[in-house]
Structure 1
Amino acid sequence: MNASELQDIIAWMIDGARSAPTPPQMMAECSERLVRAGLPIWRVGVFVRTLHPEIYGRSFFWTHGGRVETGTVDHKILDSPEFAVSPLAPVFRQGVEVRARFDDPASARFPIVEDLRAEGATDYVAVPLINTDGFVNASTWTTRQPGGFTEEQLSAIRSIAVPLARYIEIVTLRRTASLLLDTYVGNRAGEKILGGQIRRGHADTMDAAIWLSDLRGFTALSDRLPAETVVEILNLYFDCQVSAIRANGGEVLKFMGDGLLAVFPVDDYVGDEAEVCSRVLEAARESRAGVKALQFPNGDDVERFRFGVALHLGRVLYGNIGGGDRLDFTCIGPAVNLAARLEKIASRLGRTVVASERFAGICDGGWSDLGEFPVAGFSRAARVYGLHDEISAAAN
């Protein structure tokens, strides 16, 4: 093992592995440089836990002569029989190093040993990658060298683990920040916040189609069902909308109890007003079908979900609003206020989908003129439109 080259690799990692701009590229370059320095690694794995509601962790596998392969696992992995007998279990749970020499009968307690032995491996070591706060990720190192790793080579692996842990911690923190912002404020808002738009009052104007929806009868529903059941119902209900909104270019900005506010930006990149409004209407139809198919038990009966959504097109103010150091990235303006009023009108009319005159005039979706209605806070009445294919519940 060339000590000088090893130190160069460690220095390169401490400096941020600048010649490898992505984690897979960093892993490939680091592994290949270690091989050239005399470390006989055949396969390297890195396992990074994430702060994500659906994904427990990500994996990166480099194999000598091959590419870096990436993957993800969900939270169910922790309760799986495979994880219980994996060398990684004690690494994650106790932060300890685990070695499996393939000529040691005791290593047979790990089923992965037989799989790797069949591929010619002779030694395997799992090394914890410990963050500055004690949080543990893991790395695995496998060789085909006869007799396995020497003590000098194991020492080199341990020395690499330290800067590798720091690199992973930095990259993961930024990725976690991005994922959390995407999860809680949306992708577009998250990009702006990470880009430095964090001061109160810092806002932009943009043209957007506005979506404001509400679950009908939610107050009565909350009163007669256990809180846990209400949460489950809301999650099912929002699932029907969020997937349709995101698939059609929208961004969910806010959940307000049973309400949902989303925007579909209009610009040269995503398309003109007609194109954007057409996708908004498609999302509304998909959501309507999804919600209609849902049902929940209420005693001996089964109730259907009922919801309404108002669609409008206008200019909004999009940015940071709040008090002190507690801010919310959202959109405001008369256009949003009108959408909120239209949603209340939809409820009174028993309609699922209603649109403003401007939205319906741009989007050819088969609209019926439902008439003019006074709108609280606005000097003029608003003309409201509903879909031809929808019969008002109030007319039944």
Structure 2
Amino acid sequence: MSDTIDLIEWIIGSGLSGKALEEIVGTLSKRLIKLGFPLVRVSIAMPSIDPLQRGFSVSWSKYSPVATEVQGHDDAGEDMFVRSPIYYLLSNDLLHGRWRLAEDDTSSFPLLRELSDLGATDYVIKLVAFPGGTALAGVGFSIAVDGSEGFNDQQVAIIEKIMPALALVCFQIAAMRVATDMLAVYTGARTSGRILSGQTRRGDGTAIYAAILLADLKNFTSLNERWPAERIVAWLNEHFEAVAQSVEQNGGEILKFMGDSLLAIFPADVEDPADACRRALSAATGAMDATVTLNQARYHSDQPEIPIDIVLHVGEVFYGNVGAARRLDFTVVGRAVNEAARIEKLADDVGHSLLASADFVAQCPDCFHKVGNFALKGVAEPASVFAWGPPTFERE
């Protein structure tokens, strides 16, 4: 009994100390072996609300180190889930299951056949529901042994006793994972870090110097009048994905999507912003190339082409919380953001899709040419605007 109490206290302490689930699974397996469990495999599985994965499991095996396996939302992930013991339990409103692998029919479960091939004789799985009714439904804890008699009564009792503590720790890990991963999905990795560090009050933030990328899909409003909403959303997502990949590959962060536009920043050294500007330019040209590829595919499938305009600028912005007391947006505001938005409106007039300010071009002069000086609404002085690529000349 004292060994079981010690194990429960260790599980709770591990959760309070913020240990990773991988470390907990690895050490838990070693402690169960010391308690006499002839372990083959120990696994903890939980669902996820990440847009790219339906769930994940962390497993220790007698024959391999601790590993994390992610199940996606694709057909392979769905098939893996449907053929799992967890799905069987959920489909039959059960919270626990036990298979004696040498005696019971395991043909429907690839995992159990695999364990049997490894010499496992007995498999137990238990589910514990999380509170709150969220998509984080609960945790599944499974354990397989290879002793000739399988689990004895004392070992089954130990599993029962440690489950509440283990489920509590897993709930804490899952909640923190949601807070960090999903906040990053909705706000960006850099911004989510600031929010989690405590910058949560309206007005919290700081002045930073940054290269700014503002992208806007052209003729998108007219498409809404001719195509159903689900097609529009699918095309919008394709373009945003193309731009986002290029931004992230070049070290930028998308701060917001605004209808058919997006705003991204590349934090810069105020004394030497050239590197941030070069990365922003690389992101912009990569996004333009990806858009061309998308539109070529659309053209060949009789779908509408959707061009994109991109503006590059650099300057000081306020990076922080803006909004109402209980509904905040962590974004950038300031003169540089306003100027970028005004320059974007000139794209059709000057006949170029990738424009930049004079301040930006001063850091990345190659392959830009001036298209004119323009009065920008709300800006006192006319702005010099540049276009990407060599100048074009009309023949006389």
If the length of structure 1 is used for normalisation, what is the TM-score?
0.92
Query: 1:91–1:138: 8 Å Cα contact kept in structure 2?
Result: no
Matched residue, 1:113: 112
Shift of 1:391: 6.2
**Mapping for residues 268-347 of structure 1, pairs under 5 Å:** 272-295=272-295, 301-347=302-348
**Distance in 2 of aligned mates of 1:88 and 1:18:** 27
Q: Among the aligned pairs, what percent are the same residue?
A: 33
SS of the equivalent of 2:202 reads coil
**Distance in 2 of aligned mates of 1:391 and 1:219:** 30
Shift of 1:132: 2.7
Matched residue, 2:56: 58
Q: Which of these residues, 238, 241, 253, is aligned with residue 240 of structure 2? A: 238
Amino acid aligned to 1:141: I
Structure 1, 89-98 or 197-206: larger mean CA deviation: 89-98
**Distance in 2 of aligned mates of 1:324 and 1:17:** 33
Q: Indicate whether 1:90 and 2:88 are aligned.
A: yes
Structure 1, 171-180 or 295-304: larger mean CA deviation: 295-304
Structure 1, 328-337 or 358-367: larger mean CA deviation: 358-367
Structure 1, 83-92 or 56-65: larger mean CA deviation: 83-92
Query: 2:42–2:61: 8 Å Cα contact kept in structure 1?
Result: yes
Query: 2:212–2:314: 8 Å Cα contact kept in structure 1?
Result: yes
CA separation of 1:158 and 1:77: change in aligned 2, threshold 3 A: farther
**Distance in 2 of aligned mates of 1:244 and 1:379:** 34
**Mapping for residues 59-74 of structure 1, pairs under 5 Å:** 59-64=57-62, 66-74=64-72
Matched residue, 2:7: 9
Query: 1:77–1:83: 8 Å Cα contact kept in structure 2?
Result: no
Query: 1:91–1:126: 8 Å Cα contact kept in structure 2?
Result: no
**Distance in 2 of aligned mates of 1:114 and 1:298:** 49
CA separation of 1:185 and 1:346: change in aligned 2, threshold 3 A: same
Shift of 1:16: 3.5
SS of the equivalent of 2:346 reads helix
Query: 1:49–1:56: 8 Å Cα contact kept in structure 2?
Result: yes
**Distance in 2 of aligned mates of 1:32 and 1:20:** 19
Amino acid aligned to 1:375: L
Matched residue, 2:160: 158
Amino acid aligned to 1:201: G
Q: Deviations over 1:95-153 (max 9, x none)?
A: 52121102323344434333222211101111113223362221210001112111221
Shift of 1:283: 0.7
Matched residue, 1:34: 32
**Distance in 1 of aligned mates of 2:282 and 2:94:** 50
**Mapping for residues 213-252 of structure 1, pairs under 5 Å:** 213-252=215-254
Aligned CA RMSD, in angstroms, stands at: 2.4
**Distance in 1 of aligned mates of 2:320 and 2:117:** 57
**Distance in 1 of aligned mates of 2:361 and 2:299:** 37
Structure 1, 351-360 or 100-109: larger mean CA deviation: 100-109
Amino acid aligned to 1:337: N
Matched residue, 2:376: 375
Matched residue, 1:44: 42
SS of the equivalent of 2:224 reads helix
**Distance in 2 of aligned mates of 1:216 and 1:103:** 64
Amino acid aligned to 2:242: C
Structure 1, 103-112 or 225-234: larger mean CA deviation: 103-112
SS of the equivalent of 2:74 reads helix
Shift of 1:240: 0.9
Structure 1, 297-306 or 146-155: larger mean CA deviation: 297-306
Structure 1, 16-25 or 184-193: larger mean CA deviation: 16-25
Matched residue, 1:212: 214
Matched residue, 1:183: 185
**Distance in 1 of aligned mates of 2:348 and 2:375:** 15
CA separation of 1:17 and 1:219: change in aligned 2, threshold 3 A: closer
SS of the equivalent of 1:9 reads helix
Shift of 1:300: 8.8
Question: Structure 2 stretches of 5 or more lacking a match?
Answer: none
Shift of 1:259: 0.5
Structure 1, 151-160 or 252-261: larger mean CA deviation: 151-160
Question: Structure 1 stretches of 5 or more lacking a match?
Answer: none
Shift of 1:232: 0.5
Alignment coverage as a number of residue pairs: 390
SS of the equivalent of 1:338 reads helix
SS of the equivalent of 1:16 reads helix
SS of the equivalent of 2:176 reads helix
Shift of 1:198: 0.5
CA separation of 1:238 and 1:149: change in aligned 2, threshold 3 A: same
Amino acid aligned to 2:118: E
Query: 2:15–2:172: 8 Å Cα contact kept in structure 1?
Result: no
CA separation of 1:300 and 1:384: change in aligned 2, threshold 3 A: same
SS of the equivalent of 2:9 reads helix
Amino acid aligned to 1:282: S
**Distance in 1 of aligned mates of 2:192 and 2:173:** 17
Query: 1:20–1:29: 8 Å Cα contact kept in structure 2?
Result: no
CA separation of 1:300 and 1:9: change in aligned 2, threshold 3 A: closer
CA separation of 1:41 and 1:342: change in aligned 2, threshold 3 A: same
If the length of structure 2 is used for normalisation, what is the TM-score?
0.92
